[in-house]
A and B are shown apart, each in its own frame.
Chain A
Amino acid sequence: MSTVTIDKSGPTRKVKYGSMSRDRAWALRWSYFFLVLFAVFSLTPPFYMLITSLKSSAEISAATNPWWVYHPTLENYLGLLTSNQFLRFFWNSAWVSIIVVTITMLISVPAAFALARMKFWGSATLATGVFLTYLIPDTLLFIPLFKMFAVFGDWTGIQLINRWYVLLLVYPTLTVPFCTWIMIGYFASIPKELDEAAIIDGASWFQTLTRIFIPVALPGLIAATIFAFTVSWAQFLYPLVFTTSTDQLVLPVGIITTLIKGDVFNWGQIMTGALLGAAPPLIIYAFLMDYYIAGLTAGATKG
């Protein structure tokens, strides 16, 4: 949190030497120059997505100036937003993300509370273990998980492969460790007197958590929620491996596997799809930037 709340406007405080301030002015000009350069670099792909999404496929194949739209059209947007398939991807993504966020919070908030405040046998090891789990990448686990789910289906008859709900099982492995970790940090920064007082007053641990910790650590909770949501929304590998039928797909995989077709290149639609797929995280980011950044920085500074 420190990053966001402490916003000393340090560098602008002027030192009164003439040459110094002239240096400052030049430094400022250079800073702007490079910032513009980097901003162009950062924003080129999303800008290009937008431009291309407004073109008809005839205009794209005519290979006119790629950076400009001569005959803007919304047909790509209309096409996608009225296609059942695309809407299905969108809903699948939304459902999976919302449920995963809920599961994540239900698992990680109590766990973080217990790890931050209630000493028990092995709790320190567990806290470190949680952190290490966060470092294990999805790319290491997808093959054994794939085989595990297949064998599980063989034994029990419960099919997990190619069902969207399999994602509810695997996504938390990506979100829970990190969320637990940052929640430990937030809970730990709450003064001990608060919960000690509550316990003495006869509150149960559960009440301490819901009445004191959650309200006080609300910003952290929001940051963790945003994190869990963006991770679930953006995941690509697991849905690519575990789901295949078009009605089970989530957005990123759906766009990449069904909109890109070998011989027909509807790049206008693909870019529209990509832009719509990027929209929810972007919107959250636009409105809750501070929480977003707080979550981001908390993760590593507290590591």
Chain B
Amino acid sequence: MSRKKLSRREFVAATALTSAALITAPYVRGAYAAGKLSMAFWDHWVPGANKASEELVKAWAEKEKVEVTIDYVPSQGNKNILTIAAEAQAKSGHDIFAMPTWWCHSNSEQLERVDDIMGPIIAENGAANGTVQYLGQLDGKWLGVPASVGSQIKGPCSRIDLMKKHANIDVQEMYPAGSPPKADNWTFDTFLKAAEACHKAGVPFGIGLGETSDSVDTAGAIFQSFGAQLVDAKGNLTVKTDAVRQSLEFYKKLIAFLPPDAAAWDDSSNNKWLVSGKGAMIMNPPSAWAVAKRDAPQVAEQCWTHGFPAGPKGRFAPYLPYFWSIWNFSKNKEAAKSLLVHLSKPASIEKMCVASGGYDLPAYEKLTTLKVWQEEAPPKGTLYHYPNPYKHQTLSIAASPAPPKVAQQIYFQATLTKMCLRYYQGEAMEKTLAWAEGECEGFMRS
């Protein structure tokens, strides 16, 4: 092992030397004087959204005379996570990588701190929300720049007609375009009744219980609305608490009204559910609606994205940010930082946001009321409440506020949805809790 460490140190030293050489070398001239830069961005689900980031990067590269290559890495099948793991092991790869949610923390030893550029960015764009700080900072230092691309709220997207007809709920009235929500009655009780009514009518809510992020996020928000945590911020096990029990009871009632194979759903299943017209509601950012707009316009016209129902301990909505992080083995860190500053300019963020049809959600305070969410249609105003413009729900991520490395495991192993399923399938409450406690203990392994 010692040999490996030594060589790694040498490697880092060599890296520093080359990057220093690149910056100081006086004889480098020509079109690409500032070297090369490669980046792996998240492959956007909304058709055509990659183009905006590509154009922004190209424009910057032209100006700075940097040779850039962009890879778009999809998240389906954990492709991006596999790539991150491979690059971390190989200590080589891209300069900038779009880290999803927890992956800044899990690779913190190998990421360049970016506080020097985050200061000015925050000064310009406003403070970043709490979830972003929790996921993006270690000991008060930023591990990456919050990326607007791919960051999203997974709130409900409902069918206006079906909700009105079967559940007697007018989502447009509850969340009117252009004005604050009138959603005081939009609670877990109402939600459960609506789920039951729609299930009876043959258009059940499409909420997954699988192991991918859509399913886990919904569970996370519901657990948090009951004040339930499996592991608290200090790293203590808090599985066997009443809040967790209440959440499981609630989920047990809910699962009865969900599609029978919800346990096998992945991130695309709920979208298919909505687009095929089989369900009255899913929990998803507007990509499902965007696909419906292309493939099933009659469905898209009836979609309305709005806020989460409130539980006893508040109204929580799942928020999933991405970060642009710089690997510490990057040979062109200064150029990388310069590019990230460029991509974080309000104009850049808005451009990417528009290209994604309003899917992307900037983490910064001053950027949650862009025009794009007011204008997207059909129906007009369908995305008005998507970015949480009136801050009437708390943005959070499943398994927070546990220490991020533990929370990552809880999230990635889908402990929450697995608990719900176990309990629903008839396992005794205490047995489910004991199982979850065992899992969490395992996650604390170093």
**A interface residues (Cβ-Cβ under 8 A, vs B):** 57-58, 60-63, 146-147, 149-151, 153-155, 157, 159-162, 240-242, 244-247, 256-258, 260-265
Contacts and interface: CB of A to CB of B under 8 A. Distances in A.
Interface of B: 4, 7-8, 11, 40, 43, 45-47, 71-77, 79, 82-83, 86-87, 89-93, 266-268, 271-272, 275-277, 284-285, 287-288, 290-291, 294-296
A154 B271 contact: no
Contacts of A265: 268, 271-272, 291
Contact of A260 (B77, B87, B296): B77
Contact of B268 (A146, A153, A262): A262
B45 A262 contact: yes
B284 A263 contact: yes
A147 B4 CA distance: 13
**For the complex of A and B, 6 pairs with smallest distance between CB atoms:** A263-B287, A244-B83, A262-B267, A263-B45, A161-B90, A150-B89
Nearest to B212: A262
24 contacts: A58-B294, A60-B295, A61-B275, A63-B276, A150-B90, A150-B91, A154-B11, A154-B91, A155-B7, A159-B90, A160-B90, A256-B77, A257-B74, A257-B76, A258-B74, A260-B77, A261-B76, A262-B76, A262-B266, A263-B287, A263-B290, A263-B291, A264-B287, A265-B271
Contacts of B91: 150, 153-154
Given A58-B295, A159-B92, A258-B43, 20 more contacts: A61-B272, A150-B91, A154-B4, A155-B7, A161-B89, A162-B92, A241-B82, A244-B86, A245-B40, A246-B71, A246-B72, A261-B76, A262-B45, A262-B74, A262-B267, A263-B267, A263-B285, A263-B287, A263-B288, A265-B291
Given A63-B276, A263-B271, A265-B272, A257 B77 contact: yes
A261 B43 contact: yes
A61 B275 CA distance: 7
Interface centre among A147, A160, A256, A263 (most CB of B within 10 A): A263
B288 to A, nearest CB: 6
Contacts of B79: 244, 257-258
Contacts of A246: 71-73
A150 B7 CA distance: 13
Nearest to B267: A262
Nearest to B277: A63
Nearest to B291: A264
A159 B82 CA distance: 17
A154 B7 contact: yes
Nearest to B292: A61
A241 B77 CA distance: 12
A11 B219 CA distance: 63
B296 A58 contact: yes
A61 B295 contact: yes
Contacts of B277: 63
A264 B45 CA distance: 6
Contacts of B287: 262-264
Contacts of A160: 90
Nearest to A57: B295
B75 A262 contact: yes
A260 B76 contact: yes
A60 B275 CA distance: 10
Interface centre among A57, A157, A161, A242 (most CB of B within 10 A): A161
A155 B73 CA distance: 28
A162 B87 contact: yes
B45 A261 contact: yes
B268 A263 contact: yes
A264 B4 contact: no
A62 B296 contact: yes
A3 B72 CA distance: 50
Contacts of B76: 257, 260-262
Nearest to B297: A58
A58 to B, nearest CB: 5
Contacts of A60: 295
Nearest to A161: B90
Nearest to B94: A245
Nearest to B296: A61
Nearest to B47: A264
Nearest to A249: B79
A242 B83 CA distance: 9
Interface centre among B83, B89, B290 (most CB of A within 10 A): B89
B45 A244 contact: no
A151 B272 CA distance: 43
Contacts of A153: 90-92
Contacts of A161: 86, 89-90, 92
Nearest to B92: A159
Contacts of B272: 61, 265
Contacts of A146: 86, 89
Nearest to B8: A154
A204 to B, nearest CB: 45
Contacts of B275: 61
A265 B290 CA distance: 12
Contacts of B89: 146-147, 150, 161
Contacts of A157: 11
